[in-house]
Chains A and B, each alone.
Chain A
Amino acid sequence: MSLRMTEDMSAFFARIDQSTIKGVSFLEIDKYYACLMIGLRAAQIAPDPKYRASFLAAGAKFPDAYSDHDTYLLGLLVEAEIRRRQLDPDNRDLIEAETVRLLDPQSPLGLSDQGVDLMNKYAAKGFELLREKMGPPRAIETFLVTYAEIFWRPAGLGSSQPA
């Protein structure tokens, strides 16, 4: 079980320029992450997405570009689940059980199977929300600008308020 994009997500980003900017290129994980962040912020998941094959090799860790931030990604998943499931943040047993459910320090991504599944569903939902706000990007530069605008204007993205 690994990270997977939906068919639509992959097609949406398909026309983006593959060229590198000063040695940094726009990766498959970047596309996934862009969607994931929107889904996590909204604390919404797509119930039954149609996935493509994973863009990571079986048993792979987060790619190098994200290896410094992987803890954040796990944390954001836990945080989003707490909001989505409306768990009482003061109930330490509940919060602890939630982390146990989602995280698995032994696995390559640090996520349990259920955690990976949910992360994919957040990304899938995030894509749907993203698509409402922009057309298929053609260049990284313009994508980065447009994507930032979406985050300045949180309204309309279904961001639920902290519990």
Chain B
Amino acid sequence: MTHEAVEAAVRDICREDRMPSDYEARLGALIANAMRNNLDKSDIEDVLRLIPTDEAGHED
């Protein structure tokens, strides 16, 4: 079980960071599964892959 306080925090932080729409649900599931001892490494990878990055290598 994830308390609604945690769910609300996930929602707020995702909005604050302007994350893609499907990301919030996946991050919420990641945390819920971590709390339920129900986590696979690939879950972490899935969530990481959804995080947009700056196009690498255009410094200087």
The answer on direct contact between A and B (beta carbons under 8 Å) is no
B interface residue numbers (CB < 8 A to A): none
Which residues on A are within 8 Å of B, measured CB to CB? none
